[in-house]
């Protein structure tokens, strides 16, 4: 892999979760989340990105989101359930990205706020079109995703390295 290998990181926030009397980690999707997750999957499929790897938080709501979204993709990527994605800080997320093997060109992270939004903001040194304004205006609601492109090794991922290529939220 050369230093100019184009790569993409897609940050998907879990769909809307319910608030039953369970631990935060075990919260399931709400009815709206079960409707939004497949829509997010179809929009991910529309990007045409052939994901090499999906890293999904171990929380119930992220696993349920991924299970509903992945059925909409043309091919199921290798999926790793990563407990470090649950309650991950920006530093934790950057460390995870830096550990990604260089054979991976296109990575999907399925996680939580505030981490997903913080990571999108931190990585996007530039943006195409009005994507940054749309993301800033809408925050990073449930089932939203951001696509960030960069070149080089995963070990070089740091603040400002990428370009926000796309942003989508279910109720835009």
pLDDT for 108-142, tens place per residue? Answer: 999 999 999 999 999 999 999 999 888 988 889 99
- Predicted confidence at residue 43, as pLDDT, reads 98
Report which secondary-structure segment, H or E, holds 8: strand 6-13
Q: How far apart are CA 65 and CA 69, in angstroms?
A: 6
- Predicted confidence at residue 136, as pLDDT, reads 86
134 is annotated as contributing to ligand binding: no
- Predicted confidence at residue 3, as pLDDT, reads 63
Helix axes 115-123, 90-98, angle to 10 degrees: 60
Query: Domain 6-168 falls in which CATH fold?
Result: Rossmann fold (3.40.50)
Q: How far apart are CA 106 and CA 50, in angstroms?
A: 7
- 85-89: list long-range contacts, CB under 8 Å, 24+ apart: 85/55, 85/56, 85/57, 85/58, 85/109, 85/110, 85/111, 85/112, 85/115, 86/25, 86/57, 86/58, 86/59, 86/62, 86/111, 86/112, 87/112, 87/115, 88/57, 88/112, 88/115, 89/115
Q: How far apart are CA 91 and CA 121, in angstroms?
A: 13
Catalytic positions, written as ranges = 14, 87
Q: Which two tokens stand for residue 133?
A: 């304004």
Q: How far apart are CA 119 and CA 147, in angstroms?
A: 11
The number of CA neighbours under 13 Å toward the Cβ of 70 is 20
User: Which of helix, strand or coil describes residue 121?
Assistant: helix
Q: Which two tokens stand for residue 145?
A: 């995703």
What is the distance between the terminal CA atoms of the chain, rounded to a whole angstrom? 37
- Give pLDDT < 70 ranges for the chain: 1-3
- Predicted confidence at residue 37, as pLDDT, reads 98
């Amino acid at each position: 892999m050369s230093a100019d290998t184009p790569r993409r990181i897609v940050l998907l926030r879990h769909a809307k979760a319910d608030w039953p009397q369970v631990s935060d980690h075990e919260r399931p999707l709400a009815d709206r989340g079960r409707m939004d997750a497949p829509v997010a999957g179809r929009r991910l499929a529309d990007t045409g990105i052939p994901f090499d790897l999906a890293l999904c938080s171990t929380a119930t709501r992220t696993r349920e989101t991924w299970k509903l979204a992945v059925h909409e993709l043309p091919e199921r990527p290798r999926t790793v359930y990563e407990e470090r994605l649950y309650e991950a800080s920006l530093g934790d997320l950057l460390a995870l990205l830096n550990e990604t093997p260089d054979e991976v060109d296109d990575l999907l992270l399925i996680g939580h706020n505030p981490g997903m939004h913080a990571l999108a903001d931190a990585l996007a040194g530039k943006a195409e079109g009005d994507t940054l304004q749309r993301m800033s205006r809408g925050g990073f609601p449930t089932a939203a995703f951001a696509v960030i492109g960069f070149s080089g090794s995963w070990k070089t991922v740091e603040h400002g390295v990428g370009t926000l290529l796309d942003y989508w939220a279910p109720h835009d």
